[in-house]
Chains A and B, each alone.
Chain A
Amino acid sequence: MIASTMLEFRNVSFSRGPRLLLDRLSFGIEAQEMVALVGPNGVGKTTMLKLASRLLPPTSGEILLEGKPLAAWSRRELPRAIALVPQELEIPFSFRVEEIVAQGRVPYQPLFGASTPVDRKAVENALEAVDITGLRHRVYSELSGGERQRVKIAIGLAQQPKVMLLDEPTQHLDIGRQIELIALLGQLNARGITIIAAVHDLNLVAENFSSVILLTPEPSWMAGSADEVLRPDLLERAFSVRQSALGRYFFTPASQWHGASLVGD
């Protein structure tokens, strides 16, 4: 086992009923990588993230975190190493941002324990890292989409994880907030957190992510560097859309699109 492999999928398959959703995923993600998870709607991106955070068990195969099978991690140990930031988070009652983010400390607290200075410091750092200290007393359900995204990421940061899984963090955000959010992920990545994010915007992916995992509906998959995976022919198959149509929306890397592969097609 290579020590620097943070998260490894070994022949992981997942079926929902009779339908095979993920077929023998096998790849390793190095520590501190920034990986985009790309693929059409319903292809299993959310499922893959849930598998990686043990919310779902794989039908077959094995997932290892730092070389240790997920099943061997204790219930409270795992959320200290890996945090899943879900797509939607609805919160009943008028809980404040601060109270919500403090829930990220639950894996560190015994059942009867109150929050310690260490917990409060971690919450403080999380709020600061996503730049929402000014929102701490605001009620979560009254926040805008962009603000909510930041709160969700702050919960994950309060867990002080090594790996952060994000399910479509740019969903519902305007282009400015999307760019800000991806920049934020880059900052977190630079601080040493391995990032795996499901993202739809291929331009954002090509510009900001070092590696890409592409899931296709067959089901099949491809993992590699952004340049290797975001190829016109692969995207055409994955998204069932003609390259010429796709090329109008996906601008980078521009040279490749308007170069050999399209002309020769």
Chain B
Amino acid sequence: MNVMLIFLAAVAAIIIWWLSGQRLTSKPWLETGSVQLPAHDDTGRQLSPVPAVKLGLFVFLGVVGALFSLAVSAYFMRMASADWWGMPVPRLLWINTAALALSSLALQWARREAQHGRMESLRPALVTGLALAVFFLIGQIQAWRELTAAGYVLTDNPANSFFYMLTGLHGLHILGGLAVLAHTTLRAFSAKVQPDRLQLSVDLSAIYSHFMLAVWLLLFALFAGWANDFVDLCRTLLN
């Protein structure tokens, strides 16, 4: 459960940082009558609060993070048993990783175009991001087929089982993100929608995509066995 505890520590740090700005030591019974004004920036303009959907997304990412941390914790705990042997990482995964990274990059580009309200370049950016993410998913399925064909079936070994389960869970999350992204892309192509209306949606898709990329990179490191080297290194350092 170490991975999960590290994740929880990170969440706790964020919560403590946030709580520390909330005047938890104030004495509300002495503060009758005061009303907090909305936050202002230096020039006196009212700051708009973080949009609720964005905050909702961050909380959701916390939940997804917990999910994968727990799955990875289980991976490490199961790994300790004797019947575990690693599985090879198909070359295709490297291509998939590149596709997912480029997809994330394209969405970052889209985010910038949306901020500047440039509709013409926003559309190709969104389509690129969408297409690359679809490519990633197809690539993952292809990787499954290659592995199965090579005899690395689900039930053979816990490493295989974890590989299929974790890539499956990750793929489902990507699929969910794709549905939202596809909706945004369709809206970008309808003539009526103004770029500033799209800005938030593109923003959210980009953040989600970056997060899922980060999760994938960690999972990939796990499958490739680097994580084990890292754990060994930590052990050596501790001893």
Determine if chain A interacts with chain B: no
